[in-house]
């Protein structure tokens, strides 16, 4: 799936749904709405818009073909009629998908095969209980994802070979170093290790971005409190060098997820907190349970986040104010982008802000076992 196209379409549809709800059911909304209808009609993906009363208010030609809806039964573009969803798409799975998106307030996905062709459906909740559903052939979607992942994987593997050779050269130089070139050799080794980490992170991020929520996960019961301690044990030598301590919950809290991916999520979050904490500081991890959800929070005692940090923190290669970083260790710039993709793959969300008592606060919300993959 073209992720940029999907995000743009979701944004435009969100604006349209809000505009319609504010204007009631008024017709003649102006050229902006007419232009939007043209975009939806020409979209390569199918679009179906359902109101809060389970009526289809818009369906584009691509959706009609994918759902095998005849022109006589499908609602046409302007004027917008009310056609029951059950009449346009008599499938309990699709009706349940729309209801789940509305109830949970977050996007829901469904692999569905009404005929010979398997479809991928994404339900996007909007204002006034309206829901937009994106439909696309799963066959073409998987082909695009496989092509992109294969390309990134090929590039990453091509880079690994010369990087490994250069690291061996760096080690050889380090064994023969003298006072005149020790600084240059150490810098060479640091930069090569950084490039090696960057290649690995790019490959991991590509895999995550090409994984649909709930897909490619090895689902097991994961005790988050125990996993926090396990990850911290790996970071402990780096933290103890600067006198940084961990405060974490003792009570266990279990979610259903991929242990290796959740390990990477916690590693990136805790490593980020250590790098932004002052010497002798405290990293606080919290776990909280609510109906259907688990909240994982990581707080450092650094300078906190600026408004720009909040807006861009999870973007690739974003680096905030260098004054926030208290450690000499640099990262690839992809750690928090990977965190976001792991969370999305598990059907959750992540947000960043400042703690009232100071320092940055990163919060991850993961669905409990009964909600995972909903």
Active site residues: 157
Burial class for 200, CB neighbours closer than 10 Å (0-12, 13-18, 19+) = middle
Identify the bridge partners of residue 361 per DSSP, sorted by sequence position: 299, 353
User: For 199-205, which contacts have Cβ atoms below 8 Å and span 24 or more sequence positions?
Assistant: 199/156, 199/159, 199/160, 199/163, 200/156, 201/332, 201/334, 201/335, 201/338, 202/152, 202/156, 202/332, 202/334, 203/152, 203/153, 203/156, 204/264, 204/338, 205/316, 205/334, 205/337, 205/338, 205/341
CA distances from 246 to 140, 252, 305 (A): 47, 16, 21
Backbone φ and ψ of 113, nearest 5°: -125, 90
Under DSSP, is residue 220 helix (H, G, I), strand (E, B) or coil? strand
Say how many residues make up the chain: 374
Bond prior to 319 in cis (omega within 30° of 0): no
Q: What is the DSSP string of 281-295?
A: -EEEEEEEEETTEEE
What's the CA gap between 105 and 118, in Å, rounded?
A: 26
């Amino acid at each position: 799936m073209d992720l940029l196209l999907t995000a743009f379409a979701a944004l435009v549809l969100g604006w349209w749904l809000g505009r319609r709800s504010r204007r009631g059911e008024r017709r003649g909304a102006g050229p902006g709405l007419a232009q939007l209808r043209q975009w939806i009609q020409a979209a390569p993906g199918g679009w179906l818009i359902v109101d809060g009363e389970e009526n289809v208010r818009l369906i584009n030609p691509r959706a009609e073909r994918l759902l095998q809806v005849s022109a006589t039964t499908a609602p046409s573009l302007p004027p917008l009629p009310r056609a029951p969803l059950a009449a346009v798409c008599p499938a309990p799975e699709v009706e349940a998908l729309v209801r789940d998106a509305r109830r949970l307030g977050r996007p829901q996905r469904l692999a569905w095969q009404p005929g010979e062709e398997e479809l991928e459906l994404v339900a996007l909740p909007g204002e006034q209980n309206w829901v937009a559903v994106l439909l696309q052939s799963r066959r073409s979607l998987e082909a695009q994802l496989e092509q992109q992942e294969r390309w990134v994987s090929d590039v990453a593997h091509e880079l690994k070979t010369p990087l490994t050779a250069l690291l061996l050269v760096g080690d050889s130089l380090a064994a023969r170093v003298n006072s005149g070139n020790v600084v240059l050799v150490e810098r060479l080794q640091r930069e090569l290790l950084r490039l090696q980490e960057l290649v690995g992170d790019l490959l991991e991020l590509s895999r995550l971005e090409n994984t649909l929520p709930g897909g490619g996960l090895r689902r097991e019961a994961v005790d988050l409190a125990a996993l926090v301690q396990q990850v911290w044990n790996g970071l402990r030598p780096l933290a103890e060098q600067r006198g940084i301590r961990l405060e974490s919950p003792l009570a266990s809290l279990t979610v259903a997820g991929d242990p290796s991916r959740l390990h990477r999520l916690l590693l990136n979050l805790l490593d980020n907190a250590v790098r932004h904490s002052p010497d002798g500081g405290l990293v606080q991890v919290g776990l909280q349970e609510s109906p259907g959800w688990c909240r994982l929070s990581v707080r450092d005692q650094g300078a906190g986040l600026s408004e720009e940090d909040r807006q861009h923190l999870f973007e690739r290669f974003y680096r905030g104010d260098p004054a926030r970083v208290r450690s000499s260790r640099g990262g690839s710039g992809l750690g928090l982008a990977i965190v976001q993709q792991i969370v999305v793959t598990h059907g959750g969300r992540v947000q960043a802000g400042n703690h009232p008592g100071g320092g940055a606060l990163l919060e991850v919300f993961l669905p409990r076992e009964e909600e995972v993959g909903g």
